[in-house]
Amino acid sequence: MVVLVIISLVMMLVIPRLPSSDASKLRSSARSLASTIRYLGENAVTGRIPYRMQFNISDATVVVARRTADGGEATPDDVFLNKRIIAEGITIESVQTPRLGIVKEGQVLLDFGPAGVGEFVSIHLQSGAGKYTVTAFPGSGKVKVFEGYQEGEL
């Protein structure tokens, strides 16, 4: 009986401090997106392979394509680039670039070339647990993840 009381007290203290699954999915999606952007940038620079990342805001999907010499697109051979980047239940609130401004619906294309990511971009992810911002800088290959909504410096 005493053991059950002690276990109950410990559970009352520990469980509220554990992150919700929604919060962990959001954080994981932001980190996965950031690592994919870094990986694409590095591959584009070192392998001289142009890529395109398509953000479909309405259905919260991100698709990566390899650009072909004739201007078309092909599915990348890399398994890492063919996985789901944003978890189910996480939405793309908006994508912000200097060229397009803040886009809240439709799709946004982000090109990766010999210099890495083609332009400054901020991607805003959200769920019921909060918001995260992933920001990529052209030229340097730097990608940052921020908790909350951060507007990019255009």
Decide if 104 contacts 94 (C-beta within 8 A). yes
Position 15 confidence tier, pLDDT thresholds 50, 70, 90: low
Contacts of 58 (CB under 8 A, 6+ apart): 105, 106
**Predicted local confidence at residue 18, as pLDDT:** 59
**Predicted local confidence at residue 80, as pLDDT:** 82
Beta strand 51-56 pairing with 116-117: unpaired
**Predicted local confidence at residue 26, as pLDDT:** 92
Per-residue pLDDT tens digits for 93-133: 999 999 999 999 999 999 998 888 889 999 999 998 899 99
Decide if 74 contacts 95 (C-beta within 8 A). no
Position 19 confidence tier, pLDDT thresholds 50, 70, 90: low
| 25 has pLDDT over 60 | yes
Decide if 20 contacts 92 (C-beta within 8 A). no
Q: Which CATH superfamily is domain 22-147 in?
A: minor pseudopilin epsh domain (3.55.40.10)
Amino acid at 56: N
Kindly tell me the burial class for residue 71, based on how many C-beta atoms sit within 10 Å of its own C-beta (0-12, 13-18, 19 or more): exposed
Decide if 59 contacts 90 (C-beta within 8 A). no
| 154 has pLDDT over 70 | no
Arithmetic mean of pLDDT, 55-72: 90
| 71 has pLDDT over 90 | no
pTM of the model: 0.82
Domains of the chain by residue range: 22-147
Average pLDDT along the chain: 87
Residue percentage of the chain with pLDDT more than 90: 52
